[in-house]
Amino acid sequence: MNILFSAISKLAKALGVIFAVVVVNFFLIRLAPGDPASIMAGEAGASDPQYVARLREQFGLDQPLLVQLWSYIKGILHFDWGFSYRMKLPVLDLILDRLPATLLLMGAAFVFSIVLGILLGVLSAKTRYTGQRRWLDSVIVSAALVLYATPLFWLSLLAIILFSVVLGWLPAFGMQSVGVELTGWAHIKDVALHLILPTVSLGTFYMAMYVRLTRASLLEVMGMDFVKTARAKGVSASHVMRRHVLRNGLLPVVTFCGIQLGQMAGGAVLTETVFGWPGIGRLMFDALMQRDYQLLLGIFLVTSAMVVLFNLLTDLVYRLVDPRIEFEGGK
């Protein structure tokens, strides 16, 4: 009963956060100069105040702000997320069209960064601990520092030049080859090839973070008494690492996982821009430039929902990794 109650209260808080995000952003984006009508008029070279007024009327921009907010919220509750006047398509359709691409990229980058990050972090800590091949530790830490400090888009461009232009191994942009109809395995292979460079570019920064986090956390745990006891008993180093050290040292990593997923949910705009990846990050950027209010709010709604969801999941995972942590409100 307590768990149910705490689950419901978490959900209620989550919904509250999402609602607050939408309302605050509703007012915030109107602070930027220009509105969709003036942008469209500017593009058309229109010199017609009546035309602009008519556009405003059509977009519902001439009504008082609170009325607009209320009709927007009502729409959301009916699953009508609004209409993008610029692209002449419903917002929900536009977002659902681009969301899978972002989720694919996010998932791939997440797996890449976590697997490689923890692996290298463990390797680094282990060599430090056992005292053998300590140079490996130095190499890994330095590499992590360099990758952490290097700007993402520069790395991406260098990678494109090396692997795409010079070596010709990988495609330079996009999610799939255009102009050819591929199905089944050929299509999956095509997308996978296109996915490699963006994944590595997006995941590298986080991987470097994981290396450092894991290493530091593991080193701390490895200095504790129970580890010394286990080694004294004769348990092998790798057994100690797997069964005792790793589980205790993973909490900071889990925390960062939640943060990373939240950040990437915002739609890695830089990566999507450099690689021409058709995700919602790029969609959000374009919507902002064009002051496409409805589309922008829809995207904020989706991304804030994802961030909240990932935070909730992170809380759950905490509980799994360390049963000593109480689920909030569990008493």
Partner 1 sequence: MSKRFSTKAMQLAGALALLAGVATGAQAGGTLNAIVQPEPPILVLGLNGQAPTQYVASKIYEGLLTYSADLKPQPGLAESWSVSPDGLTYTFKLQKGVKWHDGQAFTSADVVFSADKFLRAVHARVRPILNKYVASITAPDDLTVTFTLKEPFAPFISLFGTDNILVIPKHLYDADNNYANNPANQHPIGTGPFMFDKWERGSSIVLVRNPNYWKAGLPKLDKIVFNVIPDSASRAVAFEKGDVQVLRGGDVDYVDIKRLEQMPGVQRTTKGTEMYSTITSLVMNERKPPFNNVKVRQAVMYALNRDFIVKNIFFGIGKVATGPISSTTQFYDPNVTQYKFDLKKAKALIAESGVDVSQTPIKILDYPYGSAWSRLAEYTRQSLQQLGFKVDIEATDAGGWAQRVGNFDFDLTFHFTDQFGDPAIGVSRLFLSSNIVKGSPFVNNEGYSNPTVDELFAKAAGATHEDERRQLYSQVQKILVDEVANGYLFENQNVTLYKDNVKNLISNGVGTNANFESVTVEP
- Contacts with partner 1 by CB under 8 A lie at 32-35, 38-39, 41-49, 51-52, 58, 85-89, 94, 97-98, 101, 157, 160-161, 164-165, 168, 171-176, 178-179, 272-279, 282-283, 286, 289-291
CB of 91 to partner 1, least distance (A): 13
CB of 186 to partner 1, least distance (A): 17
Label residue 14 exposed, middle or buried (CB < 10 Å: 0-12, 13-18, 19+). middle
Cβ proximity to partner 1: between 36 and 117 the closer is: 36
Cβ proximity to partner 1: between 253 and 268 the closer is: 268
CB of 51 to partner 1, least distance (A): 7
CB of 271 to partner 1, least distance (A): 10
Collapsing DSSP states into helix, strand and coil, what is residue 166? helix
CB of 64 to partner 1, least distance (A): 21
Q: Where are the beta strands (DSSP E) in the chain?
A: 83-84, 89-90
| CA trace torsion 174, 177, 180, 184 (10° rounding) | -110
Label residue 74 exposed, middle or buried (CB < 10 Å: 0-12, 13-18, 19+). exposed
Cβ proximity to partner 1: between 59 and 256 the closer is: 59
Cβ proximity to partner 1: between 277 and 310 the closer is: 277
The residues pairing with 84 across neighbouring beta strands, listed in sequence order, are 89
C-alpha span between 205 and 286 (Å, rounded): 25
Angle at alpha carbon of residue 68, lines to 67 and 74, rounded to 5°? 90
Distance (Å) of CA 142 to CA 134, 145, 146, 153 = 13, 5, 6, 20
Cβ proximity to partner 1: between 37 and 108 the closer is: 37
CB of 232 to partner 1, least distance (A): 57
Cβ proximity to partner 1: between 26 and 129 the closer is: 26
Residues 6+ apart with CB under 8 A from 163: 169, 170, 197
CB of 298 to partner 1, least distance (A): 14
| CA trace torsion 46, 50, 51, 56 (10° rounding) | 120
Cβ proximity to partner 1: between 11 and 89 the closer is: 89
Angle at alpha carbon of residue 202, lines to 315 and 92, rounded to 5°? 70
CB of 98 to partner 1, least distance (A): 6
Cβ proximity to partner 1: between 99 and 140 the closer is: 99
Closest CA to 294 of 143, 134, 84, 110: 84
Cβ proximity to partner 1: between 48 and 326 the closer is: 48
Residues 6+ apart with CB under 8 A from 202: 105, 109, 152, 264, 268, 271
CB of 241 to partner 1, least distance (A): 43
